[in-house]
Structure 1
Amino acid sequence: MFPDDDDALMEELRRAAAVADPVPDLVLINARAAFATRDLDAQLAALVADSLAAAGEPAAVRGPGEGESLLLFAAGPAEIDLAVVERPGGLTLIGQLTGAEPTGCELERGDGHREPVEVDELGRFLISGVPPGPLRLHCRVAPDNLVVTPWTNV
């Protein structure tokens, strides 16, 4: 057999197995839940300051029309300052990670979509066109230390 024949055979076997013995829904649900817990060792950053809460607005009612809000998250020596600014075409997130050397950051939205965040040598980042809704940041601040902000509705 040639490699192309192997690929075709494997695809045919996948189709046959899917018809004859499909994966049960409960298995799929549990697999997704297990995948969602892959960051259990992450250190959860605490929200230590919120400009809307300081103004008497609970964070849970954050929504359109707020203009700009400032958030500060902390986990050990690492801090994430985040400004959320309303702009045409979506929200702009302007932030800085201090107290650690970021080796990689991601923005996770409520729909599960994750996108890499470019962080410069001073820990600054800019993310444009973010749709309103829940989000959180994942920042690796050392090879074995992942910091994750709590879900925040913007």
Structure 2
Amino acid sequence: MWAQQGTTPGTPKLRHTCEQGDGVGPYGWEFHDGLSFGRQHIQDGALRLTTEFVKRPGGQHGGDWSWRVTVEPQASGTSALPLVSLFFYVVTDGKEVLLPEVGAKGQLKFISGHTSELGDFRFTLLPPTSPGDTAPKYGSYNVFW
């Protein structure tokens, strides 16, 4: 999910999906094989979001997944980068336990868990990157049981 803040007065519009007629577009897959890799672009006003995933085969359960989200401003003539919030949620289908691991300054480093189908697993969050001298900022995280 994502929201751009400060573009219009009032509450930012929180986007969860891309739907025809909701003002997002164009969007769609640029490359994918339906199984092991893909890249899609989403145009949301003056923002271009790119999501990419790749699967590394191996292990007893099929392998590891990597995923990256990139947000780029598309408006010309703006000197400041927009403030964009990205929201990620991690859930399991059953009553399995997910445990957050918090690092320095309260930043979420990873989430570990266990399911009967996968066994032990870890969802790792790498630090965000940003071009130039503007450092991306971590907000916070919430755990809902």
Shorter-chain TM range is 0.3 to 0.5
Instruction: Give the TM-score normalised by the residue count of structure 1.
Output: 0.35
Higher helix share: 1
Q: TM-score, normalised by structure 2?
A: 0.36
Q: Which has the higher contact order (CA 8 A, sep 6+)?
A: 1
Greater CA radius of gyration, 1 or 2?
Answer: 1
